[in-house]
Amino acid sequence: MRKSFTIHKGKKSQVDDFIHARKRMLEELNQVQHRLEAVDEIHSVTYVNDSSATSVMSTVDSMRCIPDPVVWICCATPYDRDFILMSSIVRHKVKAIVMCGKEASDVRSVLEGAVEKFKITENLKSAVSAASEIAVAGDVVLFSPSCAPGRFYKDVAERGEDFRTLVSELRNKGRE
């Protein structure tokens, strides 16, 4: 009769697996925090952090989830994106586009005529301010960049935290 042996993982490799799984779970949770996250409601306008939207199609998916009129904060990049893919949903859902950054030719050429207002700002702080001036009660200000974090942020989490901070400052400014 032959003996059979079972190979068991040592405790060290089980601990390593657990640490790796925990790290991966925390990274995923951090990404979820910046995916359609309702940050605040100021004067009946809801501010939504969708910093994890790094492509045009992820922004389209986000817009489909929002039933109210949208003031969309989008980030400009020096690279062209295919905004024609979203022209239909923009016509029906978005009342204004606020571009964060100067390289806005890809968005402007395709979507400017689809919305009531199209504004280009220097940075995210001025974009949040401009969006708050445009939005009225019942609107949603959606920060959905449609691009990678780029040169100003190391990752989507840092970019999303900046948006949260700016919305918080907006609330505090209203109290003064």
Residue 138 lies in a domain: yes
Print the domain residue range for 134: 34-175
Taking alpha carbons only, the member of 71, 117, 76 closest to residue 93 is 71
- The helix/strand count (H/E) of the chain reads as 6, 6
Please give the Cα distance from 38 to 90 (Å, whole number): 20
Residue 14 lies in a domain: no
Domain count, the chain: 1
> pLDDT tier at 125 (50, 70, 90 boundaries)?
very high
Whether residue 164 has pLDDT greater than 80: yes
Residue 11 lies in a domain: no
Whether residue 123 has pLDDT greater than 80: yes
Q: Tens of pLDDT along 48-104?
A: 999 989 889 999 999 998 999 999 999 988 777 788 889 999 999 999 999 998 777
Half-sphere exposure of 30 (CA within 13 A, CB side): 12
Q: Could you tell me the CATH number of the domain that includes residue 80?
A: 3.90.190.20
Residue 24 lies in a domain: no
pLDDT at 14: 72
Residue 29 lies in a domain: no
Residue 141 lies in a domain: yes
Residue 13 lies in a domain: no
Residue 150 lies in a domain: yes
Please give the Cα distance from 140 to 91 (Å, whole number): 15
Tokens of 174: 């209203």
Whether residue 175 has pLDDT greater than 60: no
Q: Tens of pLDDT along 7-38?
A: 555 555 777 777 777 777 666 555 556 668 98
pLDDT at 174: 62
